Amino acid sequence: MPSALKLTLAASAIAANLLGWSWPTAARPYPDRLGICYFYEGESQETLEPCVIGSGYGAGAHYTTLHWSDGVVTRIDLINACEPDEFDARGFCAYTVDDSVAAPYERDVFLEITTVEDPDNLSCYRVIETDNSVCFRFEG
């Protein structure tokens, strides 16, 4: 086999191997959905509006993006690249809102904080540093 052909085959094999190893780390978005987004300053509801909610997952995290009507985008990361003993009951070990440490909680249909799981609850994330929260619910 000519050496140029060997070199081409070797380069192709290396490239295919590199692509194969890098493929699992790519983000995988789900289709955007309509929803309702809420913003709380402390316990005071400041914003309630329709929004577009994007979500997906990639290497070590799930993410949600809230697209507000004024063009602001809020990113929520649910991190699951953890040591086995660090996972919480939700299956994650850390949460961030726009790269700030956050804690998850839920609000019921009356917008009260609840520990009772219900599919109609809002998913909420409180930024530890500011005590502000973002919440959302998918429509339909």
Cα radius of gyration rounded to whole Å, the chain: 21
Average pLDDT over residues 26-40: 87
Instruction: Return the residue matching tokens 């309702």.
Output: 36
CB atoms within 10 A of CB 35: 20
Degrees, nearest 5: CA angle 122-124-127: 165
**Structural domain includes residue 106:** yes
19 within domain boundaries = no
What domain range is 80 assigned to? 28-138
Provide the residue type at 120 as one letter. Answer: D
Domain count, the chain: 1
Q: What is the pLDDT of residue 2?
A: 54
Instruction: Note whether residue 3 is domain-resident.
Output: no
Whether 38 is in a domain gets the answer yes
133, 139 contact by CB (below 8 A): no
Of the ranges 24-28, 59-63, 70-74, 114-118, the best mean pLDDT one: 70-74
Looking at residue 18, its pLDDT comes to: 37
Whole-number Å distance between alpha carbons of 23 and 117: 35
- Residue 37 maps to which CATH number? 2.40.128
The stretch 34-63 carries a mean pLDDT of 93
Q: Confirm if 105 and 126 have CB atoms less than 8 A apart.
A: yes
Work out the pLDDT band at 10, boundaries 50, 70, 90.
very low
Q: What span, in angstroms and rounded, lies between the C-alpha atoms of 106 and 115?
A: 7
What pLDDT is attached to residue 3? 52
Over residues 80-126, the pLDDT tens digits come to 888 888 888 887 888 999 999 999 999 999 999 999 989 999 999 99
Residue 7 forms part of a structural domain: no
Contact 61, 78 (CB under 8 A): yes
107: left (phi over 0), alpha (psi -120 to 50) or beta: beta
Cβ(94)–Cβ(121) below 8 Å: no
Percent share of the chain, pLDDT over 90: 59
73 within domain boundaries: yes
